[in-house]
């Protein structure tokens, strides 16, 4: 410590913020919210319930034309008790504001779905618990991964037909597939008229890679039980870690009874071009695990991954999902709140997004 003293900037805390007046969550306040909340506000409420926490930058990239307009609207939603916020402590600089669902927002969501707040599984203390969770960085990282896809779609040319069609959280995936797999997310991506669905395993470099490779058996069991082959995307922080992970993944993949039912592709975050206008996981950074499909070891864009797996049906193909594995309307796998559309509400965006083609909706 004598030879390397702690810098003063690493010791500073955050300045105490002025208390912001907030409305109480009363019946009269709920009546006022009925004419104050826009469709975009209600979409933000549903997204916060689905994905637990979103930063100010993520919400702005998802739904607002500028950071200033997003910040002003989020401040109003906070004053109305629709959202809550916190700032994680960092030793240098200032962390972005993190937003979670507040009681008034949960009441609005429950009223829209015709249920009680308790039936949503919402509790104010649990919503704020993510602020102290050891998985906060992981949750924010997964949400940033999908936010980049939405931002890419919002700024793409109309003729590219780019859209994120589905974005399921880790919690929703666990409710639907938790008996076999617990992916970090599920998604559907469309570009240039081609659609690919996938499960995501998001690695921050802290999980043992052997544990990551061991998850392939669960994905194989899911494919066998449903009869549907869904690609698995593994996102890693560095190329060096990706190279090590590919060795372990390939070894576990070859030991599966039918490896073709678990198509795997990997990518590293450092492969993204930092100078690009809107870098995202849709870029040409993906490398299929088996390195077949006509391009050898060439990296591919996300929507072109199906070229490496000709046996994988596009999610739009008409087929009986899972050979009778479709969940009935009374299935306990169904969540009370439907999955929100990943894209902000527009005239062409549906209210809810489709789920995996496994049929477990």
303 and 159 fall within a common domain: yes
142 and 283 fall within a common domain: yes
Quick one: pLDDT band at residue 319, thresholds 50, 70, 90? very low
Note the pLDDT tens digit of each residue in 29-48.
Answer: 888 999 999 999 999 999 99
For residue 219, count other CB atoms closer than 10 A to its CB: 25
203 and 274 fall within a common domain: yes
Note the pLDDT tens digit of each residue in 125-156.
Answer: 999 999 999 999 999 999 999 999 999 999 99
**Range among 119-133, 281-295, 315-329 with highest mean pLDDT value:** 119-133
User: What is the pLDDT, as a whole number, of residue 321?
Assistant: 33
155 and 106 fall within a common domain: no
126 and 157 fall within a common domain: no
- Whether 308 maps to a domain, the answer reads yes
30 and 160 fall within a common domain: no
Q: Mark which of 132, 148, 177 sits at the end of a domain.
A: 132
Is the confidence at residue 161, as pLDDT, over 60? Answer: yes
234 and 128 fall within a common domain: no
- Whether 351 maps to a domain, the answer reads no
DSSP 116: -
Q: Mark which of 111, 132, 153 sits at the end of a domain.
A: 132
Q: Mark which of 70, 99, 132 sits at the end of a domain.
A: 132
Q: What is the pTM of this model?
A: 0.86
- Whether 334 maps to a domain, the answer reads no
Contacts of residue 100, Cβ cutoff 8 Å, sequence gap at least 6: 48, 52, 53, 83, 84, 85, 86, 127, 128, 130, 131
Q: What is the CATH number of the domain that holds 44?
A: 1.10.10.10
User: What is the pLDDT, as a whole number, of residue 325?
Assistant: 36
142 and 109 fall within a common domain: no
Contact 286, 196 (CB under 8 A): no
Is the confidence at residue 301, as pLDDT, over 90? Answer: yes
218 and 113 fall within a common domain: no
Q: Which residue has the higher pLDDT, 188 or 13?
A: 188
Beta strand 194-202 pairing with 232-236: parallel
Domain residues for 191?
136-323
User: What is the pLDDT, as a whole number, of residue 317?
Assistant: 44
Q: How many domains does the chain have?
A: 2
82 and 41 fall within a common domain: yes
């Amino acid at each position: 410590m004598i030879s390397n003293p702690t810098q003063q900037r690493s010791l500073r805390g955050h300045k105490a913020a002025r208390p912001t007046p907030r409305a109480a969550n009363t019946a009269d306040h709920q009546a006022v919210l009925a004419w104050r909340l826009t469709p975009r506000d209600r979409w933000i409420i549903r997204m916060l319930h689905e994905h637990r926490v979103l930063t100010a930058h993520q919400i702005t990239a998802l739904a607002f034309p500028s950071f200033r307009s997003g910040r002003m609207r989020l401040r109003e939603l906070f004053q109305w008790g629709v959202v809550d916020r916190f700032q994680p402590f960092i030793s240098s600089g200032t962390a972005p504001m993190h937003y979670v669902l507040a009681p008034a927002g949960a009441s609005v969501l429950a009223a829209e779905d015709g249920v009680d707040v308790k039936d949503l599984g919402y509790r104010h203390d649990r919503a704020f618990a993510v602020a102290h969770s050891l998985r906060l960085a992981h949750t924010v990282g997964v949400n940033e991964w999908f936010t980049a896809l939405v931002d890419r779609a919002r700024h793409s040319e109309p003729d590219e037909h780019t859209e994120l069609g589905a974005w399921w959280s880790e919690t929703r995936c666990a409710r639907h597939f938790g008996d076999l797999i617990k992916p970090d997310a599920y998604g559907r991506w469309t570009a240039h008229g081609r659609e690919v669905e996938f499960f995501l395993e998001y690695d921050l470099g802290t999980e043992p890679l052997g544990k990551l490779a061991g998850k392939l058996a669960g994905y194989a069991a899911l494919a066998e039980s449903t009869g549907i082959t869904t690609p698995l995307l593994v996102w890693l922080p560095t190329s060096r870690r990706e190279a090590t992970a590919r060795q372990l993944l390939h070894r576990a993949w070859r030991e599966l009874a039918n490896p073709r039912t678990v198509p795997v592709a990997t990518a590293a975050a450092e492969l993204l071009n930092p100078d690009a206008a809107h870098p995202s996981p849709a870029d040409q950074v993906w490398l299929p695990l088996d390195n077949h499909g006509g391009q050898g070891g060439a990296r591919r864009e996300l929507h072109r991954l199906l070229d490496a797996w000709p046996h994988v049906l596009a999610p739009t193909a008409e087929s009986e999902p899972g050979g009778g594995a479709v969940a009935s309307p009374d299935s306990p796998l169904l969540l009370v709140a439907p999955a929100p559309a990943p894209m902000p509400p527009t005239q062409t965006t549906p209210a809810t997004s489709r789920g995996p083609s496994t049929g477990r909706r």
